Amino acid sequence: MEARKLPGNADLGQLRAQAKELRRAYAGGSPVAVARVKAVRADAGVEILLRDAQLVIAREYGFDGWRDVAAALVAQQSGGRDLHRWFGVELNIGTWDVMDGGLSPDSPQIEREQALYAAYASTYHWMQAGTVANHGRGEYMIASVAVAIGLLDVAARHAARYAELIAQHPMAFADWDRAFAAEGLARVAARSGAPDAAELTAEAHRLADALADPEDRRICRERLAAAPW
């Protein structure tokens, strides 16, 4: 297989989108997609994980793995930009991609570990390059990953930290931050069987319904509707 050359304007988001599209095409039985995957993973089953599709994309561009693609793009694209911010954004997007793919306690251990560590890494980079709001939203992402994989003690700690940062710096956060913070606390309480879970959940819904921006309201309601509870 002859390797393609990375476009000069490539970014990790574009390549990640290619991997997601390849995964969908493979699941749909596309002969071209199946051939591409089998050229890299001859043992691939009926379905593949996102990381398998990413490996195929990486190999097609002549790299050993996805991590090597990311490193090459950092070198190619950073061009003097703040690398803390770059990594903060990329790790955030990648983590939510994994979450949207159905991360759970039953996911492979390596996938659970990578998602959690990526959430921590993204938050660290935002703490170096961003604002207190970026820090708080990183805490929320860590809590969301932790609750998805069943680490409720970890999730509780970071959900509480998000709420704490909002209380300490109220002017730095948007109204939707308060709604998401309430959702994070409510989700941990519900998963833990806490006696105040119903009250916290009702408060999260109240804050979501009160959001002024219709798009923010839609996104928050979708998050409230998403598993696991």
Report the C-alpha gap between 79 and 87 in whole angstroms: 14
Domains and CATH numbers, the chain: 1-77 (no CATH), 80-229 (1.25.40)
Cβ atoms 126, 64 nearer than 8 A: no
Q: What is the mean pLDDT of the chain?
A: 91
Cβ atoms 126, 88 nearer than 8 A: yes
Determine the average pLDDT of the residues in 82-101: 87
Give the model confidence (pLDDT) of 16-66 as tens digits: 889 999 999 999 999 999 999 999 999 988 889 888 999 999 999 999 998
Q: Which amino acid is at 127?
A: M
DSSP collapsed to 3 states, the chain: CCCCCCCCCCCHHHHHHHHHHHHHHHHCCCHHHHHHHHHHCCCCCCCCCHHHHHHHHHHHCCCCCHHHHHHHHHHHHCCCCCHHHHHHHHHHHHHHHHHHCCCCCCCCHHHHHHHHHHHHHHHHHHHHHCCHHHHHHHHHHHHHHHHHCCCHHHHHHHHHHHHHHHHHCHHHCCHHHHHHHHHHHHHHHHHHCCCCHHHHHHHHHHHHHCCCCHHHHHHHHHHHHCCCC
Give the model confidence (pLDDT) of 175-203 as tens digits: 999 999 999 999 999 999 999 999 999 99
Cβ atoms 55, 41 nearer than 8 A: yes
What pLDDT does 2 receive? 61
Handedness of CA 18, 23, 25, 30 (dihedral sign): positive
What pLDDT does 221 receive? 95
pTM of the model: 0.72
Q: What Å distances lie between residue 10 and 5, 68, 78, 80, 105, CA to CA?
A: 10, 14, 11, 16, 34
Q: pLDDT class for 207, splitting at 50, 70, 90? A: very high
